[in-house]
Structure 1
Amino acid sequence: MAFIDYYKILEIDKKVTESEIKKAYRKLARKYHPDLNPNDKIAESKFKEINEANEVLSNIENRKKYDKYGENWQHAEQYEQSKQQQQYQNASQQQDFAGGGDFSDFFESMFGGQSSGGGRRNTQYKGQDFNAELQLDLKDVFTTQKKTLTINGKNIRITIPAGVENGQQIKISGLGGDGVNNGPKGDLYITFLIENNSDFKLDKHNLYTTVDLDLYTAILGGEITADTFDGKVKLTVKPGTQNGIKVKLKGKGFPVYKKEGQFGDLFITYQIEIPTTLSEKEKELFTQLAKLKNS
């Protein structure tokens, strides 16, 4: 099995930090993403390699094992256990397993050859856990949706519940690597990276926005149309509304994760627009109002 240099794939040095690994992965993932390179087999292959490298190096423990055991890092624990057992069994003969062969020889013996007792090893081990990042826009998680991901060359269709939060991680059992000796499959861990490109600020489940209000409506009252996250609503403005006043629209906020039909609230702040250009007639009328106010 040819050795795969994950550091080389991500174009980074072995001494890089976690944040630098994440930065390098995002840069290359965008560059070679299948959506940006349709029908490009080379880009597709490169994208798979980048994801595989990130799944290993972005996990602290897996990275340590990879740095020590190379291509056999997934079986590091089994290697250590068997190494200790053989050292114990051969202690009387003063034999040290570490000097008897390289990693590849050991794993061939462990998983493909015969044990020292003449029988084949049947110990089952769980497969590797996969880690992936999924970048979405805030509007993408306002409703529950299905999405197809490419993980290690396999297309996996998942359901993304409405209201999933930025940085939240979910576990999907059995979608990781294959187990050893018919052992159980590993799991898939997905971390959501959600960007907010809307005019709304999200705080937990509540949304916040600002609506411009003309001076005349603020003074006299009236009806306006305002945007919510999923459409428009009509609002009644009370006469004498002050700048900075907030109104709450109950249930017009963001959906609550895995709680069907539950939503936060929407808070609208009125920002009164002061006219910067007035006609002569308007100036005259405002002058009369000022005189009335001061009389």
Structure 2
Amino acid sequence: MAATDFKDYYGILGLNKTASNEEIKQAFRKLARKYHPDVNPGNKEAEARFKEVSEAYEVLSDKEKRQKYDQFGQYWKQAGQTPWAAKNTRANSDFNDVEFGKYTNFDEFINDLLGRFNEPSSAGSSNRQAYNYRTSPGATDFGGFDNATAKTAQDTEAAVSLGFGEAFNGVQKRLSLGNETIEVRIPAGVKAGSRVRVRGKGQINPLSQQRGDLYLKIDILPHSFFQFEGDNLTCEVPITPDEAVLGASIDVPTPDGMVKVNIPAGIRSGQSLRLRGKGWRLAKDGRSDQLVKIAIASPKEISPQEREYYEKIRDLRTFDPRSHLQQVKL
């Protein structure tokens, strides 16, 4: 740097000459984050500002360089022409030729940069220490990764469709993940929207080389008889008019097979009967309930004898289910 190109390093960092070493470090970190090329891709002005900020820190963080800068001002680099000056020229050259793309995150860049700035000189300044930079909680590393994400693996999600039986009983599934085929055990009792974690089958994090987890999002195909109502299963069972009037004992399907269900006399269409503990498997232990909705089904075709008896019932019937409608008015 020529004398005529003198730069006010204190001004560049927004400090005065009385700034402490810690204040210099803090100012550098703040400005380095602001102007880092990864945050400003393709912005030559920001990149130039970043190099300027780093150059200022290179000098002011070094006790010997700062002393010469404070003493000689714009001629500080020419003062003495000692081996120190030769090393300073090398350091500047190293920085100007820095390849930002070789750093996987900001921590790595800062550690390398600060370590280079604080490297012991040929003059034997052995009292300098390399400073290991760490981002504060919640801070974001450059390149799109936060400090935690940079160290963790990449999780992946995939959808899996199951039949009711597979979801209820659990099933072993073979899945294709790109060029890889894996065997996955789906536990019993999963529901639509459940997520099943398969450890170590996600993507590989390019920074940590650790493999994330695979999350299977469950979808359950429609069933011809069973449906979900919350945690419970529901179904609709048709009964005949005489079963509705007289009551009956009928067979009803459950996930465990057929069970006998008593239909009380006088049941109405649309009423539900609860079969406790015959529903879906719960996440913890036990089972939900199965709700059996009753639908009274009238036959479309009847024999002449059935017709005769239905006509007799009609003539003898005393029950009028529409009697209350006489009171309905606008």
How far has the Cα of 1:231 moved from its partner? 1.7
Residue correspondence of structure 1 range 1-295 to structure 2 within 5 A: 80=38, 88=50, 91=53, 107=101, 109-110=102-103, 125-180=151-206, 183-257=209-283, 259-260=284-285, 262-293=286-317
Quick one: percent identity of the two aligned structures?
26
Check whether the contact 2:37–2:47 (CA below 8 A) recurs between aligned residues.
no
Q: Secondary structure at the match of 1:290?
A: helix
Distance in 2 (alpha carbons) for counterparts of 1:79 and 1:183? 24
> Counterpart of 1:57?
none
Aligned CA distance change for structure 1 residues 79 and 227 (closer, same or farther; 3 Å): farther
Shift of 1:79: 8.7
* CA distance in structure 2 between the aligned counterparts of 1:265 and 1:238, rounded to whole angstroms: 19
The Cα shift of 1:134 comes to 1.6
Structure 1 residue 153: deviation in Å?
A: 2.0
Higher relative contact order (CA 8 A, sep 6+): 1
Residues 144-183 of structure 1 show CA distances to partners (whole Å, capped at 9, x for unaligned) of 2222222232223222122222223344343223344664
Secondary structure of 1:282's counterpart equals: helix
Q: 2: CA distance between counterparts of 1:87 and 1:175?
A: 43
Indicate the SS of the match to 1:176.
Answer: coil
In the superposition, the TM-score normalised over structure 1's length comes to: 0.55
Contact 1:126–1:178 (CA under 8 A) maintained in structure 2: no
Letter paired with 1:233: V
- Tell me how far apart the structure 1 counterparts of residues 274 and 213 of structure 2 sit (CA, whole Å): 42
Cα 1:100–1:199 change in 2 (3 A) is farther
**Count, aligned residues:** 203
Matched letter for residue 294 of structure 2: Y
Q: 1:172-207, CA deviations, whole angstroms, 9 ceiling, x for partnerless residues?
A: 343223344664322222222222233222022211
Unaligned runs of 5+ in 1: 1-77
2-structure distance, mates of 1:170, 1:240: 46
TM-score, reference length from structure 2: 0.50
The residue matched to 2:211 in structure 1 has which SS? coil
1:56 alignment counterpart? none
With over 3 angstroms needed to count, the CA separation of the structure-2 counterparts of 1:93 and 1:193, relative to structure 1, is same
SS at match of 2:38: helix
Aligned-residue CA RMSD (Å): 4.0
When residues 216 and 127 of structure 1 are mapped into structure 2, their CA distance, relative to the original with a 3 A threshold, is same
